[in-house]
């Protein structure tokens, strides 16, 4: 089975915020290189003058976009690139993921994917942190043209809830072992979109209502 990691990344213009986000990305790439040794596909937005760390076991496939695509827009681009690729399975992470774990933890995680061809695996209930999806399943679903940045949808919640509703027999839940993503976008002062300008409960209610209507 050919497995890749997919990362959506946007680097803000503000130099201080940009440096923090870039540092997190560097750390993420180094950890993924050490833990998984799998190709990484990146949807790279506003990536001018970016230098990446040297990786020892990982190939980077980078698709650059000069302007911000939005969270959903970036997810849709990653989906498009994955479906047109040689890969069978996609592991999803954000560029600020704070990954903890060892090479053994990574191996145990990958073995669970190998044991579930043609399915999708949930790591955290409604978050695309180590969420994994096969090409067969991702070809069946796309995101609405709505954005979290406009207070319209939580695209991660939408994807997982819709898949779980329509294809419950294709779902599995990962045993985490020592692997985790401990980033907390809900309280991150360096978030690229959330500055407490929206009521997250209301966005969640909108998203659940969309899924109920499917």
Give pLDDT tens digits for 66-110. Answer: 999 999 999 999 999 999 999 999 999 999 899 999 999 999 999
Across the range 118-144, mean pLDDT stands at 96
Q: Say if residues 70 and 147 touch (Cβ distance below 8 Å).
A: yes
Across the range 116-130, mean pLDDT stands at 95
User: What's the domain range around 100?
Assistant: 3-212
Average pLDDT, the chain: 91
Tell me the pLDDT band of 199, cut-offs 50, 70 and 90: low
3-state secondary structure the chain: CCEEEEEEEECCCCHHHHHHHHHHHHHHHHHHHHHCCCEEEEEEECCCCCCCCCCCCCCEEEEEECCCCCHHHHHHHHHHHHHCCCCCEEEEEECCCCEECCHHHHHHHHHHHHCCCCCEEECECCECCCEEEEHHHHCCCCCCCCCHHHCCCCHHHHHHHHHHHHCHHHEEECCCCCCEECCCHHHCCCCCCCCCCCCHHHHHHHHHHHHHCC
CATH number, residue 58 = 3.90.550
Confidence (pLDDT) at 203: 86
Confidence (pLDDT) at 85: 97
Please give the distance of CA 2 from its chain centroid, rounded to a whole number. Answer: 18
Domain count, the chain: 1
Q: Residue 195's closest CA among 203, 207, 186, 204? A: 186
pLDDT over 70 at 202, yes or no = yes
Confidence (pLDDT) at 194: 44
Confidence (pLDDT) at 105: 97
Q: Bigger pLDDT: 214 or 184?
A: 214
pLDDT over 90 at 147, yes or no = no
Question: Is the pTM here over 0.85, yes or no?
Answer: yes
């Amino acid at each position: 089975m050919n497995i890749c990691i997919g990362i959506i990344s946007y680097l803000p213009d503000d130099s201080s915020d940009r440096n923090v986000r870039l540092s997190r990305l560097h750390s993420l790439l180094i950890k993924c290189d050490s833990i998984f040794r799998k190709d990484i596909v990146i949807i790279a937005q506003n990536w001018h003058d970016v230098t990446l760390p040297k990786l020892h076991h990982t190939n980077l496939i980078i698709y650059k976009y000069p302007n911000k695509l939005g969270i959903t827009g970036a997810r849709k681009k990653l989906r498009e690139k994955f479906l047109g690729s040689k890969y069978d399975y996609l592991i999803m992470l954000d560029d600020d993921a704070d990954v903890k774990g060892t090479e053994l933890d990574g191996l145990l995680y990958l073995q669970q994917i190998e044991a579930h061809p043609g399915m999708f695996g949930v790591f955290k209930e409604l978050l695309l942190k180590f969420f994994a999806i096969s090409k067969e399943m991702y070809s069946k679903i796309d995101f609405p043209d709505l954005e979290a940045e406009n207070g319209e949808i939580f695209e991660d919640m939408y994807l997982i809830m819709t898949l779980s509703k329509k294809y419950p027999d294709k779902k599995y839940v990962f045993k985490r072992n020592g692997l985790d993503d401990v980033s907390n976008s809900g309280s991150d002062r360096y978030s690229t979109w959330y500055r407490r300008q929206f009521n997250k409960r209301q966005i969640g209610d909108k998203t659940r209502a969309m899924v109920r209507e499917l």
